[in-house]
Structure 1
């Protein structure tokens, strides 16, 4: 470097060192004077701790009379406060990206989501002359109705494990229930169930593969192009692991693989520039099956009631030396914005 360049470099290095020193000083001051919680935050934390202790004590069978007051007892067991269920729902959001990215409604009862329908008619604009009547055109508003279908998940916790003081009962219950509910919720988001949640059944942008058990690069491009550019920013691919394995072998005209390993991708792979998520709930490449979903998952509306509850059944599974934990919730799913999502359907046999 020239003398001038060396001087500029030294100045920049001094500024960086100064910034680093300032950051360290602020962190030290922050550690010396921790931020105080508001009275409301402290009260909420205190209530949560009481409820969590009551939950763990009841699971272990040593709940005191005072802590038992935090539980609601029924003929079958105890209903645990919503704070525990909320932690389980948070776990579901963490491990279920489809649900995480969807348009979520955490309310009870039936709801109607309005959307603008341009399929039959739409608002248009055109040049016009003075004193000439404009020809009007307009779209129409429709709505998607979400109700609530009751679903439950049961997990058994070993009493032997719970009696081990090193076993984090609360964390394990949240983990077990979170995984069970996430698997169910993801299935209802992607596949749905007849006469219950629709899932992706409402997707209208459909590309049909030319074969019943194989996919081509051109078909993948066609699926991606179904979604307008304005919605491409948050799009992802969703498929079964076996489908991903088949796509990994596809190459473009120059011999480059379409699906690439990418350490910066959310799930380790990208396809045509978008992240690839594998779900065991997705159907495989079989005749007539929906093998791939592509799009912005905010186009899917999911309603999970905030009145979800969790019950502890201590007596029912006593002969198994276990405690049952049951989570109840209401759920419904439907495609709300058909422009945001497309899918690849395999050719019928």
Structure 2
């Protein structure tokens, strides 16, 4: 056993000082991974198997790459979070609303909000009570969600003021034809339209605070609500956009009927099978990834992204093409995604792990394929009674989602057929 075989996985700095440090650490770990994996593949080629020490080393470094990437992602997300209010100056009416909202949150005095909202003929108080969050906080929550919820960042997002968004979709374009200069023109067929309906569902969070925290004027209450709520909302959204069943939540793209791509029809999501239950094919394991991407029409393929969880990505990171090049490539710069055969890779931890008949990989043009619907406004209801001595803040927003173009997304099924 040589010294190289005993080399430990790259050291991970628990909290990198800067994004540049995290990026350098990630790139160093990936280079070490490629060296170790090349040795493993060379041993397989020469001896039809790899040394157990080499395999363990590859797995350790592969895990280190994941940890470095996670640290880098967290720093990028933190940097992407904007200053509350976007740094712009507030108008007089916005300043009044901000001050009145803070008075309500800190002391429960809603007289200022009622005066402002009556003056504006607002319908901000619903049957269940509560007040609209000021514009600055509302937009802050929305921006943070776009970073933390991976599918939201890929999809088309629409804001609506009603309960349901109805979207017509042309299944086929206008019929056309060639004709002689003096030939008769027959009437062409009208396009076939389908109506898709996207209902918004209520998403809630209920952060709690002590009265002492609310009395502390040094605490930015709006920023605190946003920071408490955004992660809770993002986690729920992330799951729903992937696998939600459509009952009291958005419908995820994995919740639609899945059919073999050769039998695809509108209303279904097409898939390609690896040919092996719960695994990639032993020979040419990366071929299925190429087949899935090229099952998309050219217009969708040029805007496509792969979506998978971290575990699946770690397995794919070991694959090479026939020229010996790794299919998975590290980000080219800070803030850029990793790529798989030139297509961006988005990590969505709500995607299932590789398993028998699991749909663990999706590839597609999600901006064309998936629609997220946000109803305007985030509401906060102050409750100082239910959990004394804590004050609860029942925060709600309405969100819907579903597939809007069924030919723009394809899945990889880890099954025989």
Measured against the shorter chain, the TM-score band is: 0.7 to 0.9
Q: Deviations over 1:204-250 (max 9, x none)?
A: 23212222332320111111112222223432211111111111111
**Residue 384 of structure 2 is aligned to residue 314 of structure 1:** yes
SS in 1 for 2:407: helix
What is the distance in 1 between the residues matched to 2:217 and 2:289? 53
Aligned twin of 1:52? 98
Counterpart among 123, 143, 166 of residue 112 in structure 1? 166
- Counterparts of residues 27-38 of structure 1 (less than 5 Å): none
Distance 2:334 2:226 in 1: 27
Bigger Rg, structure 1 or 2: 1
- Distance in 1 (alpha carbons) for counterparts of 2:113 and 2:204: 26
Structure 2 CA distance, aligned partners of 1:195 and 1:78? 25
Q: Which moved more, 1:50-59 or 1:300-309?
A: 50-59
Q: Distance in 2 between matches of 1:158 and 1:256?
A: 57
Could you tell me which residue of structure 1 aligns to residue 279 of structure 2? Answer: 214
What residue number does 2:398 align with? Answer: 330
Q: Please say if residues 287 and 348 of structure 1, whose CA atoms lie closer than 8 Å, have aligned partners that are also in contact.
A: no
Contact kept, 8 Å, 1:248 with 1:258, in 2: the verdict is yes
**Number of aligned pairs?**
304
1:154 aligns with 2:187: no
What corresponds to 1:30 in structure 2? none
Distance 1:131 1:206, change over 3 A: same
Q: Give the C-alpha shift of residue 183 in structure 1.
A: 1.9
- Segments of structure 2 that go 5 or more residues without pairing to the other structure are 1-87, 118-123, 257-267
Contact kept, 8 Å, 2:274 with 2:414, in 1: the verdict is yes
* Aligned pairs for 1:91-130 within 5 A: 91-107=144-160, 108-118=162-172, 123-126=175-178
Q: What is the CA-CA distance between 1:251 and the residue it aligns to?
A: 1.3
What is residue 141 of structure 1 aligned with on the other side?
Answer: 193
Q: Measured at CA, do residues 46 and 335 of structure 1 come closer, stay the same or move farther in structure 2, by a change above 3 Å?
A: same
CA distance, structure 2, for counterparts of residue 141 and residue 76 of structure 1: 38
Q: Comparing both structures, which one devotes a greater share of its residues to strand?
A: 1
Name the SS of the counterpart of 1:106 in structure 2.
Answer: strand
Conserved 8 A contact 2:273-2:416: no
Distance 1:87 1:50, change over 3 A: farther
RMSD over equivalenced CA pairs, Å: 3.3
User: 1:293 maps to what in 2?
Assistant: 362
**TM-score under structure 2 normalisation?**
0.63
Which residue is 1:204 aligned to? 269
TM-score of the pair, normalised by structure 1: 0.74
Cα distance, 1:74–1:131 mapped onto 2, change above 3 Å: closer
Instruction: Give 3-state SS (helix, strand or coil) of 1:338's partner.
Output: coil
Pair 1:303 & 2:373 matched: yes
Shift, 1:194, TM fit: 4.7
> Which one of 230, 240, 253 corresponds to residue 178 of structure 1?
230
In 1: Cα distance, 2:191 partner to 2:114 partner: 57
2: distance between equivalents of 1:269 and 1:251? 15
- Which structure exhibits the higher relative contact order, with contacts defined as CA atoms closer than 8 Å and separated by 6 or more residues? 1
Q: Quick check: 1:279 aligned with 2:348? A: yes
* Farther off after superposition, 243-252 or 327-336: 327-336
| 8 Å Cα contact 1:54/1:68 also seen in 2 | no
Give the C-alpha shift of residue 178 in structure 1. Answer: 1.5
Change beyond 3 A, Cα 1:334–1:160: same
